[in-house]
Structure formats: C-alpha cells, structure tokens
Structure 1
Amino acid sequence: MKNQGGRRWPLVVLTSSPFHGHMTPTLQLAKALHAKGFSIAIAHSKVNPPDPSNHPSFMFLPLSDNLSAIDDSGSFSNFIHTLNKNCKPSFQEHLTRLISEQNEENRSIVVIYDFIMSFAGSVSVDLNLAAIVFRTCSAAYFPAFLARLQLRQEGRFLEQDYAIQEMVPNFHPLRYKDLPFSKSPIEDWQQLVAIFSKQIRPSAVIWNTIKSLEDESLTRIQEHYQVPVFAVGPLHKITPTPPTNFLQEDITCISWLDKQPPKSVIYISFGSLVTLDKKMLTEIAWSLAKSNQRFLWAVRPGSVCDSEWMEFLPEDFIEETKERGLIVKWVPQRELLSHFAVGGFWSHCGWNSILESISEGVPLICQPANVDQMVNARYVSFVWKIGIELERFERGEMESLIRRVMVDEEGEEMRVRAIGMKEMVKEAVENGGVSHDSLEGLVGFISSC
C-alpha cells in the first residue's frame, strides 16, 4: 500500500514484554494494523515467545534476553531492569538492519512498544524513529500511578504512613489500598518508580480501553503526555486472534458447561502469574462447597505454593463437589465467558480479564493481587458496580460473596449493569463507534510518520 508521492506505508515494529497479559493484546493490535495494510514485525524476548505459525504474515525478531523464565521469586524491579538491559542490544541491531532495508524500499519504520520494554522507546528515538507506547493496563491505573509518584516525592510510603482504607485526596474514587504495588516491598517500589520515570516522551500513546468507559482517566493521560492518545479497545473484540497462551487450554470444559443450566456456573481463575498459598486456596475450595453453587475452577500448575497442581485440595472436598464442580489446568477464557452457563467470574482482575468479562456481561468477584489489579477491582465494585471486591479472606465471607453474585437480587442487578456495558462495548467497536474511530485515527497517525 502506498501514500501520496509513492512512499510506502511504514513498517510497524511492535515490541512486547514476555507476560501473557501483555503479549496477547500486542498481537491483537498487530493483527488489527495488518488488516489495515501495514507490514508487521514482532520483537519479542525468548522467554515466553509467541508462536510464529499462528501469524504467518508477520516477521518475528527474537531478542537475546539471557533469561530462562520470568523470575518472580525475587525483586520484580530487578527482573524488569535485567530484561530491558539484556534485550536492548539485539533490538538495536534488528532496527539498524531494518532501517537499511526499508530505506531501499522508500519506507519508514514506526515502533510501538510495551511500556515495560522501555529500552525500545529510547533506541527508537536514538535512531530517529517514531516511538508509540502501548499500555495494556486500564487507563484508571495511570492516575493511580501518578498518586504513588506524588507520595514518593513527599518522601512518604503507603505502607508506613497511611490508613489504607482512607480516600486518596484528588484521586477519587481510589483509597490508599487501591494504589499500585501496595503489596511490594518499599525498596522494590522505589526501583520500579525509578525505571518507569525515565521513559522517553512518546510520539503517541495507545491504550487498550474504551473512551466511553474511562473518559476521565484518558483525559488525565492526554494532559500528562501532551501527545495523541488512542483508546482502541477492547482489542479482542476488534481483532480476534489465535490463542497466545503459554499453557495448553483444556477445551473439554466447554462440553461440561453445555450440560449446565443458564447462568448457573461461577468461573474461577487468577490469571497466568498470581501465586497463592495452600491455606487461601483451601478456604476458596470450602467456600465453593458450602455455597452449593456449580463452579469451573482453573488451577494453573505451579500457581499454588509448594504444590504441583491440585493435590492441596482435601479429598472430602473433591467428593462433595464432584457432581457440580470441574477443576482444570487452563481454559479458553474468552469462549468460556461467552458461554450461556457462566453466571459469574471470580478473578484476580487483570485488565484483559476485566475487558473480557465486561464484553460478555458477566459480573465479578474481585480478588486483586498486585500492580493495576487493585485499581481495576475498585472500579468494578465501586464505580461500575458490576462486581464485589473480596476484602476478608475468610470462608464465610467468600461463601457470602458467591451467593450475592450468583443467586441474590444484588447479583441480578450487577448482571443487568454488566449486560449494559456489553452493549456499550459492542457499539464502541462497530463502524462509527469510539474505539473503531480511534483505531482509524491511529492508522492515519502511523501512516503520516
């Protein structure tokens, strides 16, 4: 495809971090841009790489990260620092080669990079390329991050100085407990702030969200960056892609759901990274048993401390729930949430999971763990009112929340609101919708670089 003057549209190089929740929307964005006529290259770490066979039209650029796995046993900030340091040289080599090749074809290069992979932005600027940052979290997370920066500038830290249930001044509706990284050590938070505060000013910002859902937060983002901001989500509804899971999906759960009554099953999953202890999972198990509700529980291998899979579960729990419960290792989540039998989602509140739940009108039980998940849970429960946040990790409290969402009138009211948001998503991605138009604006911006 060519622009006026015969110059070809830019090659778009997308750089993703190795986290499942980041890689998935990056590939969805790549597919959306490819459908508009752009050539696509994916620069990725060798940890958790995408499968090129799922995307035969893309060029793949592996980055030498010298890492064997995502290391969550120590400091998260140290892992991010090492990832950026190790990937930078090979990324620069790839871009230098591509620049030479594209110059011969009279075509420029535009880089879209995951916020976590900040080296890609600095390398792009050094090479005089347009650098667009892609944020895979909620827009509401950004003001929360600014609030933490403000506290740091005051020399104060939430863990030391504040009552965590109090509201944060000028950052409604957030409480101190909702701010990001509140469960990380202070030293780790300081290092992360240092890393993320040194980011270059991008040419534009892309957010996987919906303007009509997060308009106020997007306005704050626009005021902060002073560059174009494109809210193009939810990307999974704009460009469905093949699975980017790092675990094998158990599709037999769908046939099990087919046999259940409408809206009768609560689905439980805490994502691809969250690790919980045996005591917590045992309490969850017995709350499911005592609630007397049908359930489908995705227990990721290695997600339970000191357990390979589900051997932590009491035998009498398995026996008591075998007729109305199913436990699997991993599921096709988007397909599952759209199933008629699913009536609720007990989630860690990662942003992809929230978008997928909203898109299918499914209310939530929120059990956030870290980073942006506390912010997401607050908006789900307090602002959008399509879920309830679990704040006391006790069997009786969990059982109560299951019933409130699945069978009580309160849960039906949440479901009505969630279905309304489902319609909002549908309108946003259709022709003339806010996300559709924002994607068209992004295409115009990239083609003009």
Structure 2
Amino acid sequence: MSSSPMPHVLLVSAPLQGHVNPLLVLGRHLASRGLLVTFTTAPHAGLKFGHGDGATVDVGRGTIRFEHLKGGDLWAPYDPRYHDPTGGVMRHIDEAAPPVLAELIRRQSEAGRPVSCVVANAFAPWATRVASGMGVPHAMLWTESCAVLSLFYHYFHSLADFPSREAGPGATVAVPGLPPLAAGDLPALIHAPEEFIWRQVLIADIRSLRETVTWVLVNTFDELERPTIEALRPHLPVIPVGPLCSGTENHGSGQDDDDDDCVAWLDAQPPRSVVFVAFGSLLQISRDEMSELAEGLAATGRPFLLVVRDDNRELLPDGGDDCLAAATGSNSRGKVVAWCEQARVLSHGAVGCFVTHCGWNSTVEALVSGVPVVTYPAWADQPTNAKFLADVYGVGVRLPKPMARDALRRCVEEVMGGGPEAVAVRARSGKWKAEACAALATGGSLDKGIQDFVAAILSICAGTV
C-alpha cells in the first residue's frame, strides 16, 4: 500500500518585492516543519529573486520548490511594462495569470504532488479565484498590519463611521482594538478614487476574506497587535504568523557582493552611529526632495547609508554637492548604494536610526532590529504605520512634509542625540526588539501560529475536516 503524498502548499505572490519577501519567509517556516512547499510568482527584471525556475531547497524536514508563472499571455520577464507606475501590471496579472496558475496546479497533481492548500498574499485576488474554482483550500497572507486589515474590513463593510478626506484634525474614527485615528492616519486606499486599480484589487481581497478564504495569516505578532487581533477575530479567522523578516527563520537566501560591501562599510563605523535611509522598491521622490535629503544628511554630521534605486539615480545632486562628495570621497562619511538587504543592514550594530517610508515590511524590520525611526510616509498603508511607530509604539518621530534639510537634521538628532527623549525612544525600541525576539522564540506567537496552520493542513490531508 503506497503512502500518502507529503502535504503540499502552493504559495502564490503578486510580482512585487514587498509581497514576495514575506511570503517566501513564510514558505521557509512551513517547509522547515516537514511540508512540501512550491513558491510561484511572475518573475521580472525588477524583482530581486535569487531562485531560478525548477530550483529546490531543503529546509529543515521539508523542501521548497520554485516554479515560475510563465507562458500563456503573461509578459516576458524583461518586458518594460512591469515597471508601469500606474498599476498596469496589476490589471495584466489579473487577466493573464489565472489560466497559467490553474495549469500549474494541474501539473502538480500529474506529477504526484497534488496541492493541499494555496496561500496567496494580499493584492492577488486572482489566485484566490483560481483556488476556489478548483476546489483547493486556500489562505491569504495579509502583508500589511492587522490594524490596516481591520480598518479596511470595517470601512468596506460599513461597520464604523470614517471621517472624510476633507475632515478636520479633530475628526476621528473609532474601530475596536485600535486607538482613535484621524483622516490623515488612514490608509490611502480608503479614500482613493473608485477607478483606481489598487482599490479595486483591495475590495476583491476584502470580499474574498468573508466569502471564500479559510484562513487569514497576518505578518504580525501577538505582542505587537494583541488588542487588534482579538477584536478582529469575531469577524475573520486571523492567525498571526510574523514577524516574517528575511533571516529570522535561519534559512536566509544569501547575500551578493554589493550587500557584503555594505556590511564591510558598516563594520568600520562606530556603534549606533549610522543614519540608514531607504524608501522601498516603489516610492518615487522628487528632485527637490532628493536635494533636501542629501543636504539634510550632510548637515547631521553623522555617517549615513543611503539607498537610491537605479531609477532614481539621476535625481542625486551633482558631484560638487557636499552629500555626494561625502559619500564617494576617500574620507567618506557616507555611502550611496542602489540596493542592500535591508533586514541585514538594520540588524547591524552600527545603525542608529532608520529614515523610512514606513512600508509594513520596513516597519516590522525596524521593530525586530530595535532601531529608532524617522517616518516619511507617502501612500498606501504608510501613514497608518507612521502613526503607530511614532505615537503608539513610541520608537520614532515624524518628518514633516515636504522634505526639508533642517527638519531632517532635527529629527535625526531627536532619536540619535543625548537628550532625554532620544534616550526614551531608544529604550522603547529595545523593548520592542525584545518582544519580537519572544515572538520568534520556540513557543512564541510565530511558532504557535505556524504550528496551528500546519496542523490544519495536516488535518485536511488526513480527511478529518
């Protein structure tokens, strides 16, 4: 009598860096507990993705495979349309990916490894539709905070009175498990135009959570968002499975030469002396903002590591600017790079401050590393994350808009200086680092969340649910 096949989880990601990273970390956690995991996305030239089609990696007691979405009407990996900032890639994937994904699921069965469960991250409702249509149990990995999930759920189901975009600073919304939030603290998609593709995709996600999704996995940890998680559970089957930071699962993907160069430079800096500046893989800043940023960093008098993507390099000031000269001269006080492994940099003892756009991955990585922040949110969930970092978690300060050199210098000093508030910010940052370590430890909320989800998958395979 043949043995039952190993439980097989198919992870499906939208082809966006901030979505790929946490889902891949989740996959390593699942594989380490004895599951077969296949990871898929539509890779393209702008995606940092180190595993080729067909690659396999043994992780703990299991294996993670990589099988790319390709063929059909999907764009080729080097198609420039993947860089369309208007959201065209989301429309394309929503239309072209479903038949390709369905065929991939069929191939798994034909190869003797039928898919037991599909886990798609947020903003990939097409994957949920395919899994539901093929009768495959499925979960969503929510890649933003539980607070943001709760806000969207309450807004789109009309469970709370939300202030309008034009509401004054005194108008707030009361959502169970959350502090009062003003209009400016809310995720941008709440008040985005109806025709905005990201809003349309979000609405499809929120609808699927109520109608078809069996589990809602959230990249958070119980210690961080306990009141929010408990308040949302009567509505959704929330399981915290975070923090999903690269490296925390002890199966990192390795580093390239550029990253090693960053670490070597950091090794030469004094402890907690470096201002680290990174605004994620999507945010575009203006030439004026870049100039003010450069001058502000120069004015701090501190060493800095500035990440400027290749598509923003032309915005850097010319070689005569003090900032650029400091970053490239023989006695450099700073360093400008196109990319680095952010979690690795934040965990380095030389980093004393993180100037961030407040994406959720960056927020979690800062908390896990115990690094104080200067917040500079732009859109999406970033304003909400900035509110929590500064006013709820107490680990940073807000940099006013527009970017101004003197304001940046003052904010950096507020979290890196020797004054009482800077000392308090660093102490609170250390507290959250300890809480994150507790979540990551054996028996912590991440361990429990992963175990609960694995147990549910094993029950499905055993035919007991």
**TM bucket normalised to smaller:** 0.7 to 0.9
- The residue aligned with 2:437 is 426
Matched, 1:414 2:425: yes
Superposition deviation, residue 422 in structure 1: 1.0
CA distance in 1, matches of 2:81, 2:163: 27
| Mapping 1:39-438, distance limit 5 Å | 39-47=36-44, 48=47, 50-52=49-51, 55-56=56-57, 57-64=63-70, 65-66=74-75, 68-69=79-80, 71=82, 73=84, 75-76=86-87, 78-102=88-112, 109-146=116-153, 148-149=155-156, 158-159=164-165, 161-163=166-168, 166-170=171-175, 172-181=179-188, 185=193, 187-188=195-196, 191-199=200-208, 200-225=211-236, 227=237, 229-236=239-246, 238-243=248-253, 249-303=258-312, 307=314, 310-311=316-317, 315-319=321-325, 322=329, 323-393=332-402, 394-407=404-417, 408-438=419-449
Superposition deviation, residue 402 in structure 1: 1.1
Give the counterpart letter for 1:436 in structure 2: D
Contact kept in structure 2, 1:13 and 1:42, CA below 8 Å: yes
- The residue aligned with 1:27 is 24
Superposition deviation, residue 150 in structure 1: 6.0
Tell me, what secondary structure is at the counterpart of 2:41?
strand
Residues 195-252 of structure 1 deviation map (CA, whole Å, 9 limit, x = unaligned): 4344252111111110111112222432222x3524342353541444489x974422
Superposition deviation, residue 379 in structure 1: 0.7
Superposition deviation, residue 120 in structure 1: 1.4
Superposition deviation, residue 399 in structure 1: 1.6
CA distance in 2, matches of 1:311, 1:152: 48
Unaligned runs of 5+ in 2: 58-62, 461-465
Tell me, what secondary structure is at the counterpart of 1:365?
strand
Contact kept in structure 1, 2:245 and 2:365, CA below 8 Å: no
Superposition deviation, residue 184 in structure 1: 5.2
Superposition deviation, residue 185 in structure 1: 4.9
- The residue aligned with 2:4 is 7
Size of the alignment, in residue pairs? 435
Superposition deviation, residue 405 in structure 1: 1.1
- The residue aligned with 2:60 is none
Deviates more, 1:142-151 or 1:270-279: 142-151
Superposition deviation, residue 354 in structure 1: 1.6
Contact kept in structure 2, 1:18 and 1:49, CA below 8 Å: no
Residues 54-73 of structure 1 deviation map (CA, whole Å, 9 limit, x = unaligned): 74343333224326256564
Give the counterpart letter for 1:266 in structure 2: V
Residues 270-301 of structure 1 deviation map (CA, whole Å, 9 limit, x = unaligned): 11111101101111111112222221111111
Give the counterpart letter for 1:448 in structure 2: S
Contact kept in structure 1, 2:160 and 2:174, CA below 8 Å: no
Unaligned runs of 5+ in 1: none
Deviates more, 1:437-446 or 1:188-197: 188-197
> Relative to 1, partners in 2 of residues 1:228 and 1:377: Cα closer, same or farther, differing over 3 Å?
closer
> Relative to 1, partners in 2 of residues 1:185 and 1:217: Cα closer, same or farther, differing over 3 Å?
same
Tell me, what secondary structure is at the counterpart of 1:339?
coil
Sequence identity percentage: 25
Superposition deviation, residue 143 in structure 1: 2.1
TM-score (norm 2): 0.84
CA distance in 2, matches of 1:274, 1:387: 20
Superposition deviation, residue 85 in structure 1: 1.5
